[in-house]
């Protein structure tokens, strides 16, 4: 079958150089692959190697072994159809580095109590919906103005805005789908220019958090449902979707789409996602789709 391996290193590091591509090409040939061509998407940063191989999984294992410890990310896929028309992104620890409910809890002096529940959930040890109910209940009585103060803390992970802008410019629809709160996702949607955001709503009574979140909770299955809903609206196939996330509640969505990327993911995501970004940033998701750096915007 015809495959393309995309190697991506940090922009400044020049880890992806001609000698690396040569040595990987030799390794692929030694294992029976028939090489076609190499194509530099960004000199010294990202390169495609096109080849024919018997099987994708053993080739992927081979590349994983060869690249272990190098600080280089890679993707392996058939070249046809790798540019996607829908981006669905998780927000917390994916588009932004923060976990907003943890930040809120820290300020209320209940950080540890809440972080224990968050981490259990992200590792897949506790159902996401129940963990969110438990955490929000602990925040009962917090003044609404605390949310506004926290908004200023939010920052974008490197390349997040470039990923959204570039895919949009090339005709894709972009959605932020989060198990967090609409109060924060709406701001990141505006900052990053996502077409829409879907998340959970914190219920507020007389200016204070009621300790309740609106039901049904947007969790693992709801992220997949949101993705399915978007594909139906856009009349596109799931194979035409790039989804990106870091936690257990992203797994159903990541597994269902054509390009499900684990972004600096929790161990359960590292084990399961077909595509990974572990060393570089969101721009790797563009290289994986075959975009050249001069097409980024």
Q: Which residues bind Mg ion (CB under 5 A)?
A: 90, 92-94, 246-247
SS3 252: helix
Give whichever of 247 and 260 is closer to Mg ion, judged by the CB atom. Answer: 247
Angstrom distance (rounded) from CA 51 to CA 33: 6
Q: In angstroms, what is the minimal distance from the CB of 91 to Mg ion?
A: 7
Give whichever of 77 and 118 is closer to Mg ion, judged by the CB atom. Answer: 118
Q: In angstroms, what is the minimal distance from the CB of 246 to Mg ion?
A: 5
201, with CB counted inside 10 A (0-12, 13-18, 19+), is middle
Angstrom distance (rounded) from CA 95 to CA 207: 29
Q: In angstroms, what is the minimal distance from the CB of 99 to Mg ion?
A: 7
Give whichever of 5 and 176 is closer to Mg ion, judged by the CB atom. Answer: 176
Give whichever of 161 and 246 is closer to Mg ion, judged by the CB atom. Answer: 246
Give whichever of 67 and 202 is closer to Mg ion, judged by the CB atom. Answer: 202
Angstrom distance (rounded) from CA 276 to CA 279: 9
146, with CB counted inside 10 A (0-12, 13-18, 19+), is middle
Q: Establish whether the linkage from the previous residue to 64 is cis, with ω within 30° of 0.
A: no
Q: In angstroms, what is the minimal distance from the CB of 291 to Mg ion?
A: 24
Residues in the chain: 297
Q: In angstroms, what is the minimal distance from the CB of 155 to Mg ion?
A: 15
For 26-54, give one letter per residue: b (16+ CB within 10 A) or e: eebeeeebeeeebeebbebbbbbbebebe
Give whichever of 153 and 297 is closer to Mg ion, judged by the CB atom. Answer: 153
Q: In angstroms, what is the minimal distance from the CB of 168 to Mg ion?
A: 22
């Amino acid at each position: 079958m015809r495959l393309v391996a995309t190697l991506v290193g940090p922009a400044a590091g020049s880890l992806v150089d001609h000698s690396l591509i040569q040595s990987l090409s030799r390794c692929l040939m030694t294992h029976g692959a028939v090489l076609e061509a190499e194509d530099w998407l960004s000199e010294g940063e990202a390169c495609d190697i096109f080849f024919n191989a018997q099987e994708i999984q053993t080739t992927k294992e081979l590349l994983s072994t060869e690249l272990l410890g190098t600080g280089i990310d890679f993707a392996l896929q058939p070249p046809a159809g790798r540019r996607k028309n829908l981006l669905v992104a998780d927000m917390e620890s994916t588009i932004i580095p923060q976990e907003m409910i943890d930040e809120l809890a820290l300020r209320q002096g209940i950080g540890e109590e809440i972080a224990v529940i968050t981490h259990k959930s992200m590792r897949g040890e506790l159902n996401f919906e129940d963990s969110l109910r438990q955490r929000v209940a602990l925040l009962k009585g917090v003044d609404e103005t605390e949310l506004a103060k926290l908004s200023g803390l939010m920052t974008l992970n490197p390349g997040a805005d470039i990923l959204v802008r570039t895919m949009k410019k090339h005709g894709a629809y972009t959605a932020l789908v989060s198990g967090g709160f609409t109060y924060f996702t709406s701001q990141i949607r505006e900052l990053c220019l996502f077409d829409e955001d879907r998340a959970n709503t914190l219920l507020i009574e007389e200016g204070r958090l009621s300790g309740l979140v609106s039901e049904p909770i947007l969790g693992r299955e709801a992220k997949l449902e949101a993705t399915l809903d978007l594909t139906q609206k856009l009349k596109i196939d799931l194979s035409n979707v790039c989804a990106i996330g870091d936690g257990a509640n992203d797994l159903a969505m990541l597994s269902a789409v054509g390009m499900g990327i684990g972004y600096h993911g929790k161990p359960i995501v590292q084990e399961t996602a077909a595509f990974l970004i572990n060393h570089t940033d969101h721009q790797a998701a563009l290289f994986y789709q075959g975009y050249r750096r001069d097409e980024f915007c």
